[in-house]
Structure 1
Amino acid sequence: MASSNFIDYVKINCRSGAGGAGSVHFRREKHTPKGGPDGGDGGRGGHIILRGNSQLWTLLHLKYRKHIKAENGTAGEGGRRSGAQGEDVILEVPLGTIAREPDSSKKLAEITEDGQEIILFAGGRGGLGNDHFKSSTQQAPYYAQTGEAGLEEWVVLELKLLADVGLVGFPNAGKSTLLSVLSAARPEIADYPFTTLVPNLGVVAYRDYKSFVMADIPGIIEGASQGKGLGLRFLRHIERNSVLLFMIPATTEDIRQEYNTLLNELREFNPELMDKTRLLAITKTDLVDNTALTQLKKSLPKKVPVAFISSVSQQGLDELKDIIWQSLTTTAPV
């Protein structure tokens, strides 16, 4: 899929519908010349609603809808007839979408489940008709309420991919290749050092019909947390992953140093990422001999489960899935 099709950030103007005005009306029939007030209420204005859709994975369909307007409610009528309710506008969004205020970044809503609905901006209430204002001292009220105005605000929709496992690594660590081997996902890979152009999700089949979702996050470079490269734009997707799988090629000169650099980039971006379970995959083991593998094992980080894999020769992939599944079903972080 082309990189332009992945949109994880949009800013749109939303206006909920205004409520309809209440009616000023009096009952006038042939045999009831002095009938009382019977003005109906105005209809509610339409809401702007977010709805989760598990079939979506991008905000592309909203990129060019800069102005979202819900329908106004209609005015009430005589005979205590209420006005029609304005039609709601439902914005279907991928799971993991957050709505924020543009200036303060205050979170307004968060969609995490398929079919979940949240009213982002409520429509205005309809005004009460004059039937509500009659009393023993005011038997013929010549007034009714106007409808309540709708809300009009700019809002930012931001997508953070929901996945069980997030792949973390520098460019060319083999993340995209691993995802393509373990799942049906076919990431688009660039021919320059930034590797993957967009985040990709894949469902990985496990034993006894179990499965888990893996996210390939575009390659981080040193300084990504300060905005260098593509990393800063996509680092937020890692916040939603239950387990972080660090991937470092076996051909790397100093594996421990590279691991610490990756860890530091995540820490700089969001210190809470340090609380997530971490795993380590040493990739491209088909490119080194057994003697080199024995040597590099001495420099590996302590207390982090490690798998030695080759996506090309498909070595160690079952062991890797075992380690991932065990981590996903264990609550205590590594």
Structure 2
Amino acid sequence: MTEGNFVDYVKIHVSSGNGGKGSTHLHREKYVAKGGPDGGDGGRGGHVIVKGNKNLWTLLHFKFKRHFKAGHGEHGSKNRSTGADGDDVFMEVPLGTVIRDTDTNEVLFEITEDQEEKIIIKGGLGGRGNWHFKSPTNQTPRYAQPGLEGEEKNITLELKVLADVGLVGFPNAGKSTLLSVITSAKPKIADYEFTTLKPNLGIVKHRDYQTFVMADIPGIIEGAAEGKGLGHYFLRHIERNSSLLFLIPADSNDIAKEYDILLNELKKYNPELLDKERLIAISKSDMLDDELKAEMKEELDKDLKIPYIFISSVAQQGIQELKDKLWNMLN
């Protein structure tokens, strides 16, 4: 999927259908002089419904269609015939989509399961026909209820990527390169910061035909939790990953300090992110000789409280070991 096709945030206007009017018909038939009221009820207006679809990965299909309007209910008619209900409108979204009220910013619900359906706004109820209102004292009511009007709402759809492993690191740490090596994804790779502006997903093939999904989250910078850089856009995608892989390059000035900064940004954004399993991968480690590696290990064993592994995406060093560790974390 190219970067321009990954849409993870859209604003939409939805309106449900009006209910149909009840009928005021009086029964007329040969040999039945005064048949009485037999006006049917109006049909209900159509609902606007969101439905989960596991085969969708992006909100791209909402990019050019921003208005959704359900059908109106039909009016009631004679012989107590109820009008047809208005057509419901179904909006299919990828799993992990959060639906907010744009005006109040309140989260209405989120879709996390395939074929899960939630009604965003209900259609108006149909009016009752005049036969409901007959009584011993009013045997020919010549009135019925009008249908209720539908509702309108502005909503925001926000996609939080559902992946097993989220790649976390500073810009230019080598996340896209790693993703391109261990999956068949083809992210944009260049040696400048913020090459990746949208999350990239790839499927990692493990031993015995097992697979898991990895997401390359765009680079985090210090202050991302306050919205610096593109902080909020990136951080929300990390919420849905079950494990986090921190990628820190071997030529970093202070690996432990970089890890602490990244962890601090996650904590500021959402402290629950620290409950996820974590692993550090020290990338670009083909630049290190054995002596330098041994020295770094001594320091890291003191400074880091979580497991770490030396890898090189370009030289394909430690890649299988990394897959094994991630698989064990997930299972």
Q: TM-score range by the shorter chain?
A: over 0.9
Higher alpha-carbon deviation: 2-11 or 75-84: 2-11
Which residue is 1:83 aligned to?
A: 83
Q: Does 1:9 align with 2:9?
A: yes
Alpha-carbon distance between aligned partners in 1 of 2:90 and 2:46, rounded to the nearest angstrom: 10
Higher alpha-carbon deviation: 201-210 or 116-125: 201-210
SS of residue in 1 equivalent to 2:164: strand
Which of structure 1's runs of 4+ aligned residues deviate more than 4 A? Answer: none
Alpha-carbon distance between aligned partners in 2 of 1:8 and 1:115, rounded to the nearest angstrom: 20
Q: What do residues 1-23 of structure 1 show as CA deviations (whole Å, max 9, x unaligned)?
A: 44332211111111111111111
Q: What do residues 260-319 of structure 1 show as CA deviations (whole Å, max 9, x unaligned)?
A: 111111112112211211111111111221112112223324331212111112221121
Q: What do residues 24-63 of structure 1 show as CA deviations (whole Å, max 9, x unaligned)?
A: 1111011112102111111111111111112221112112
Give the unaligned 5+ runs of structure 1.
Answer: 330-334
Alpha-carbon distance between aligned partners in 1 of 2:121 and 2:320, rounded to the nearest angstrom: 48
Which residue is 1:143 aligned to?
A: 143
Displacement of 1:234 = 1.4
Percent identity at matched positions?
Answer: 62
Which residue is 1:164 aligned to?
A: 164
Q: Does 1:231 align with 2:231?
A: yes
Higher alpha-carbon deviation: 221-230 or 116-125: 221-230
SS of residue in 2 equivalent to 1:65: coil
Alpha-carbon distance between aligned partners in 1 of 2:82 and 2:185, rounded to the nearest angstrom: 52
Displacement of 1:191 = 5.2
Alpha-carbon distance between aligned partners in 2 of 1:138 and 1:318, rounded to the nearest angstrom: 84
Alignment of 1:293-312 (within 5 A): 293-300=293-300, 301-312=303-314
Which residue is 2:328 aligned to?
A: 326
Higher alpha-carbon deviation: 254-263 or 286-295: 286-295
Alpha-carbon distance between aligned partners in 1 of 2:128 and 2:290, rounded to the nearest angstrom: 82
Aligned length: 329
Which residue is 2:92 aligned to?
A: 92
Which residue is 1:280 aligned to?
A: 280
Which residue is 1:199 aligned to?
A: 199
Q: TM-score, normalised by structure 2?
A: 0.95
Please give the root-mean-square deviation of Cα atoms over the aligned residues, in Å: 1.5
SS of residue in 2 equivalent to 1:298: helix
SS of residue in 1 equivalent to 2:49: strand
Alignment of 1:108-187 (within 5 A): 108-187=108-187
- Letter paired with 1:152: E
Alignment of 1:226-265 (within 5 A): 226-265=226-265
- Letter paired with 1:267: K
SS of residue in 2 equivalent to 1:72: coil
Displacement of 1:105 = 2.2
